[in-house]
């Protein structure tokens, strides 16, 4: 039986392309997804730069860096939840900005996984980081072919 990914819920076609892709293509697709998500979500900082550099260099499986990126995502999530709970309309755009940054940071953390079969999580999180992920989906689909 075929595994169901969270990616299936946002793009079944992309999930199927992921399943059929080689490990190298999966890894490259995750790199592209993370680069675009970080850029479009305006995610910056030392951990982000180190994470992107590690991905570009093919260095996955860095548990310390992955933990720092997971922590960064958790901080953005916490800030998002606090603003969202306040329910003030004037803070809604800031809350969404924080949500996007959290998802982009989470994508980077997932992309540092050693197992190429799990990189669909990085792609899913990168898509979730964006209001309009169409550019990202096209770029990832192209990498998976």
Please tell me what DSSP assigns to residue 131. S
pLDDT tens column, 48-79: 999 999 999 987 768 899 999 999 999 999 99
pLDDT, residue 87, reads: 79
**Boundaries of every domain in the chain:** 23-144
- Mean pLDDT in residue range 98-111: 97
1, pLDDT greater than 60 = no
104, pLDDT greater than 70 = yes
pLDDT, residue 119, reads: 95
Q: Which residues contact 1 (CB under 8 A, 6 or more apart)?
A: none
- Mean pLDDT in residue range 27-41: 97
Please tell me what DSSP assigns to residue 45. S
Separation in Å, CA 53 to CA 13, 62, 65, 105, 141: 29, 12, 11, 14, 22
Q: Nearest Cα to 76, choosing from 101, 109, 41, 47?
A: 101
Q: Please give the model's pTM, rounded to 2 decimal places.
A: 0.94
Residue pair 119/113 in contact by the 8 Å Cβ criterion: yes
- Mean pLDDT in residue range 8-26: 95
- Mean pLDDT in residue range 11-20: 95
- Mean pLDDT in residue range 3-20: 93
């Amino acid at each position: 039986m075929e595994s169901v990914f969270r990616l299936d819920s946002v793009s079944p076609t992309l999930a199927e392309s992921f399943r059929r892709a080689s490990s190298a293509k999966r890894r490259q697709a995750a790199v592209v997804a993370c680069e675009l998500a970080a850029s479009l979500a305006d995610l910056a900082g030392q951990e982000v730069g180190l994470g992107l550099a590690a991905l570009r260099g093919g260095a996955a499986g860095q548990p310390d860096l992955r933990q720092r990126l997971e922590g960064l995502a958790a901080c953005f999530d916490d800030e998002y939840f606090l603003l969202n709970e306040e329910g003030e309309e004037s803070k809604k755009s800031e809350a969404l900005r924080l949500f996007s940054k959290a998802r982009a940071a989470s994508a980077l953390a997932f992309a540092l996984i050693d197992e190429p079969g799990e990189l669909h999580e990085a792609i899913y999180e990168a898509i979730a980081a964006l209001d309009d992920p169409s550019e990202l989906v096209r770029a990832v689909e192209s990498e998976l072919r």
